[in-house]
Structure 1
Amino acid sequence: MVTLQLVGSLRKELADSLSTCRVLVVGAGGIGCELLKNVVLTGFKNIEVIDLDIIDVSNLNRQFLFQKKHVGKSKAQVAKETVLQFCPTANITAYHDSIMNPDYNVEFFRNFMLVMNALDNRVARNHVNRMCLAADIPLIESGTAGYLGQVTVIKKGLTECYECQPKPTQKTFPGCTIRNTPSEPIHCIVWAKYLFNQLFGEEDADQEVSPDTADPESCVLWDGDIKRVSTKDWARSTGYDPVKLFNKLFKDDIQYLLTMDKLWKKRKAPLPLDWLEHQKLTCPQGVTGTGLKDQQVLGVAGYCQLFSRSVETLHFMLVDKGDGAELVWDKDDPPAMDFVTAAANLRMYIFSMNMKSRFDIKSMAGNIIPAIATTNAVIAGLIVLEALKILSGDVKQCRTIFLNKQPNPRKKLLVPCALDPPSANCYVCASKPEVTVKLNVHKTLVLALQDKILKEKFGMVAPDVQIEDGKGTILISSEEGETEANNCKFLSDFAIRNGSRLQVDDFLQDYTLLVNVIHCENLEKDVEFEVVGDAPDKAPTRSQEEGKNVANGNKDSSEPSTSSEGEQNWHFLIYNCNLAKIKQSSLTPTTTVTNGINKHTQCVQIREVRQ
């Protein structure tokens, strides 16, 4: 086989550097497939790629390294095997694993001259950002959402890191995650909205909810006949029987997922639900929360009953509209909202997540945006161009590049902007990271400090917390079982009060953060804590985990967005990235948020284009 490479077009010194340097590609999905192909054809020889996901049928329309025969196999491994056909002499190592595994520590990252991110979630992005800062290795970050894309370079001490600026609420998700391996409540909410359309609304093949129906060879009608059947047709055949629907969606489909054992080697396996078993429970036993009904969590039995009632109501509404009628999901329609609340919470329970109130679910539900294969290809090409600058020793020549949906007034789709310096207030890359947190020490549990503040808010993986009380009291230890007895105690039980200081270390990330505690008796309703002061509010909460964080393009042909319809119809055209050249009195700077990297690019808003 002929080896195809670009090295003849490069300077000899650069070509030699490509053949000897080691690079890490994180993610082998939408952008990752295009990127791996590009780095091999450019002349990179020593490549390592890591991805936890397996190939889903829905990936095949845009992740061109994969074929139907690869469904169910490791993305990283198959991507390696495919690109080796382009260049058999390349040395490629594939890891079917999570980049957040402690095995991939700072020493692991120091093995590389360059790291290229092609990720689809912010938690992993935050983690890789911190690992590259700790290892002092250049990182190229990227993301896409529909026709939008962005590439930027992160270099310790020279540029902003990924967490220097606030991020918008994440709004897009990989389709295979929604259907097969949800890990956040929002994944279950999106799945429930898809389910509503599949049962009562306009069917969309890209919003399939059953893991089996995505693969023609696995489509089984649940009476045993081998036959492809839509979710709506199956529901009609049962007369929209709530019990049969329940057992198919929450028992049979989950049991089918469990047969895909590769999914659960490094994930917690889901727990199927059975209708009869949960009828033995009573709703009040599971109710948690106080106040309005919308802010209560009913428990499994309660949501079983709500699911049944909402299915019956929606079926009646469908029949009442006549043959061929469809319902449209509306968060302000009580039966539709009941259905999504019940279905989402039952799925959360199955996948070991904390269930959410109706109020929370209503606020998180969103719209749909597409994923475009061409956008992934453009962004992957730009990543390689920035990589060549870094390997040439020209890091200062690197740029943040935005790919827009429409040309700007200079008829350019690609808009390069100079890299911004590190933020003095960043709680990740500052020389001495420090934050101030306002909370009620008498009501905040140690477990809440660990999970909600340190892990979810500040993106840590395995934090250790020591109280600066002159005794070095260990409040939280990453060693299993060492401080579990503290979890259900309040911070005040450890003499933590207004003005207390906590030293937090995450040894995996080689990251230390000083937390100043401000005690507050009267936080706003439903607010457990606040980050105050100059530190930007950057890290995502679990429930917000993927928004128009332009992800890695690793999505089905359509994906959810929580932006409103009005927001989606407005687009801003960027004219110039240097405000010094423009009279600031006549134009207003704007913050451009495109690819999951919220950048204060000093761009100028010229005009608004109504789509």
Structure 2
Amino acid sequence: MDGVTDASSLPEKVLLSSLITHLFSSFHAGDTSLGHRLKLAYFRCLSYRKRSDSETSPYGYGVHETGENRRTCLGFGGVKSLRSLFSFRFQSSLVCFPQRFFHHFMLHKRASEASVANENSDKSTGSDLASSPIKKRRVDITDSASDKSSIVASGSSSSSGFIVVQQLDMAFGNSNRQEIDEDLHSRQLAVYGRETMRRLFASNVLISGMHGLGAEIAKNLILAGVKSVTLHDEKVVELWDLSSNFVFSEDDVGKNRADASVQKLQDLNNAVIVSSLTTSLTKEHLAGFQVVVVSDISLDKAIEFNDYCHSHQPPIAFVKADVRGLFGSVFCDFGPEFAVLDVDGEEPHTGIIASISNENQAFISCVDDERLEFQDGDLVIFSEVEGMTELNDGKPRKIKSARPYSFTLEEDTTNYGTYVKGGIVTQVKQPKLLNFKPLREALKDPGDFLFSDFAKFDRPPLLHLAFQALDRFTSEAGRSPVAGSEEDAQQLISIATAINTGQGDLKVENVDQKLLRHFSFGAKAVLNPMAAMFGGIVGQEVVKACSGKFHPLFQFFYFDSVESLPSEPLDASDFAPRNSRYDAQISVFGAKFQKKLEDAIVFTVGSGALGCEFLKNMALMGVSCGSQGKLTVTDDDIIEKSNLSRQFLFRDWNIGQAKSTVAASAAAAINPKFNIEALQNRVGAETENVFDDGFWENLTVVVNALDNVNARLYVDSRCLYFQKPLLESGTLGAKCNTQMVIPHLTENYGASRDPPEKQAPMCTVHSFPHNIDHCLTWARSEFEGLLEKTPAEVNAYLSSPVEYTNSMMSAGDAQARDTLERIVECLDKEKCETFQDCLTWARLRFEDYFVNRVKQLIYTFPEDAATSTGAPFWSAPKRFPRPLQYSSSDTSLLNFITATAILRAETFGIPVPEWTKNQKESAEAVDRVIVPDFEPRKDAKIVTDEKATSLTTASVDDAAVINDLIAKLDQCRHNLTPDFRMKPIQFEKDDDTNYHMDVIAGLANMRARNYSIPEVDKLKAKFIAGRIIPAIATSTAMATGLVCLELYKVLDGGHKVEDYRNTFANLALPLFSMAEPVPPKVVKHRDMAWTVWDRWVLKGNPTLREVLQWLEEKGLSAYSISCGSCLLFNSMFPRHKERMDKKVVDLARDIAKVELPPYRRHLDVVVACEDEDDNDVDIPLVSIYYR
């Protein structure tokens, strides 16, 4: 290919020369020490001993001894290994290798800066900024224009917010040069947007403390795509660490924790520079980072680092996070002034105006098409208002008295023009300026704590005290408290009591010694579920610090899950280490409980983002890792590129492979004792031969990792039937929820349903759209009709002409007529044989959609048309359309027609000529198309009824027309070759090279242009038309961590309903809301009681008479027994009494035609009963066992 060189063919010297040239072009030419640092970095890379190809990692990492420190750095395993890095196109390879070379360059740069650092580093000076590598980055603040304008427009306090945004852009190197791989990050882009992603790509993050929490934070940030992550730790890997850190294996024991983490974390995302730092961390190390995350360090050291970050110019965001057993804490300080550009991440709310009054405080009503989501105090702007045009000036205005369909404007409109019609009101997102306190001050004055569980309203102040007491204990004893040690627990309690005495207003009224005892026992352990949960929270806080997107945690958050502890007390010996990878977990739960985890039989449904996290968590916890345990995971999906930014067990080379197989293999690599089986079956009624009665009855627990409601409801019904615990969770962008479904203790998942999403009326979508969603819904419908459904119907007809036409004649309705008309058009006058034919078809399709149909609509309903009541027909929310005028100079129109023609050619198997890539030649070809004049029809019928379900109207002539069409089809068929078939095109949103989104976005935007609706880019169109569910790694990690904390309770088996928690969280706000699950509804009869969890079982293959007698013994008279939709017995039918001595199973087989496969042992029937007083009694499902 022209302009593209295969780098594997280049000499090594040329490669290295290209790399150095690339680096020189990336930095300021005035840096006189640049060449020296390049040399140091270059020779440092080459100094590592050459390794054999078998020793070299996929990314060329080698291990080098440097004094006492063992570092993992980039080494060349011979020229062959170097060239393997460049076995793809040289243009794209510059994204990969120079980043690693740049890492060594930056290490030497930071080292030289540290040697000349100002001795008074605690004080903020200009030299701090000067010594930072960010000073060499060209700053381009134009990217943030929209953010800055929103701050100014919203009336943010003075200009300080604008200054903070400028500092944010400077600190994070905001630049248009950052390219976003939209295929990889599409789900994340739907949450963050391009601007946030660009800031992430320019952010350097330091994580200190590479136990399980550090690994989880790093994983989430690397998947998100920050520029670099530096891992710091001075400690070595212990067997203990394998309970929580998924990157460690037993082979890593004794290695430095940071070094041992680099390679596996780097594998998650090659676009991120991942490096390690193993020396003692000092303030000088912090200068080159935008965010510093510390864990597992003393409070004094944290205060020292935080003081430096807080006073640095610009401030360095600082996060301190710790997980201690079942307790966790987070502290955030993003500097003296931090601008939150988008506090919640939601789209600005809008409304369509119906009326505006002329009065002192204008009353504004909106159409009842959708409820308004405004709140008192919101700022709004107006557009498209006719009559009262003074409101169209773009000035934000404050509202009050917000109601579902109206609000009051705090503005006098008495002297404004009189409102005529139209108008859109749009919320203005208001930025927020936060003033963070440094840790030194916040410890003494923490302000309001962020609560998560209002059943523990007094818990955060106590945990604030507990973590300070633990720090003092560790400082004095030189170690953490010993698990199960009463002596250490009492010492920690004494320290906490002493601290509490001197706290003044912060004094805790009741120092809960039992809670502190639990805290002490687990203080040394990092548990995987806690690490996963807090890894999600902290990872999101880092993203906020990098971008200003979402509201930060302000400033302390404490959490505990002591309810997860075993219900039975344990002896201190049970906590003792066993020289096992689970020792950390054993130190909290005991060895007996660990055995329960290992012997669990688990069914995980789904292995996508949630599924990957669950498998990782359970492998680390030891779930199903014993001789009696087993985990079955199933997923019928395959891996796509867009999965890689969240589903962290997958890599580039796994694309196209089965998710479940790859995920299971990766999870087994985390823990080789993981007894896991991967299946590729969908869970549903059609696979009950795979997941049969024996399978479900043998399970301990079911963990859902699904992305659709129907599948969840089916699994819920199976768990309900077999009385198995179900752990449910889901995510939507930064939001997540968990629900515990516990037999006989809680309601089931299907007991409560979300209301169905509101669907726009068909007439609105097809004739009267008023927002881009309507346009995109119509565009996808047209895409599928033209390119998928019609070709599929053609093939169905050609495969079986007689059967197909007979079915159409039998239907004889308007839909059959419409289908046949489309097939005839496709095989007759619109049949394409050359690409020019396809281009002609596409050009005429444009004319039909955006010119002729609009002319017909406004001919039938002119602008001054009125309804039957005399009201204007074109009143809100309807928008009066205008036909488009084609011009080849409008590239958007030309590109749409070309893309449509290419897909039309694909359906007919016609090659696409090379000249379609040339705009001039394409324009000339389109201009050659003869477009016939349009004449509006006086008898045209346009559906305006919002309740209509079809655009096709029935006619008395349908049968006759169908017969004519069938005759025409027969003629067309004889003009075709016997093997002629079309290729239906199924919409695929995640391939930007297939023209699908070009056509859909083009259709939608041309239609939006007809109706003066704001257009959207292709990415936004993909989100809406592709129904992409926004997703990020952080909320997924948090959800799975919370579920696994509940899994402890389920597998223990002795917990009450008040111990369980359902959770709703929104990391954007942030908001954490935990509540006890709702119990199931109880039905009572005599001395019996049952819930939806109960199922009455009758064994022995009984007759109908025996079933009725069995119910009579319970004081119930059955008057109806049914199986599926068939009635087996009804007391009102005399002939049914003849069935009394027949087996119920035989009745079901003979009457209901029920198939009884060999894997099924019972038959379920629904029985309607009455009590002695003739009152209906809802009894449980009755299962009749015949085997």
TM-score normalised over the length of structure 2: 0.26
Return the structure number with greater strand share.
1
Q: Which has the higher contact order (CA 8 A, sep 6+)?
A: 1
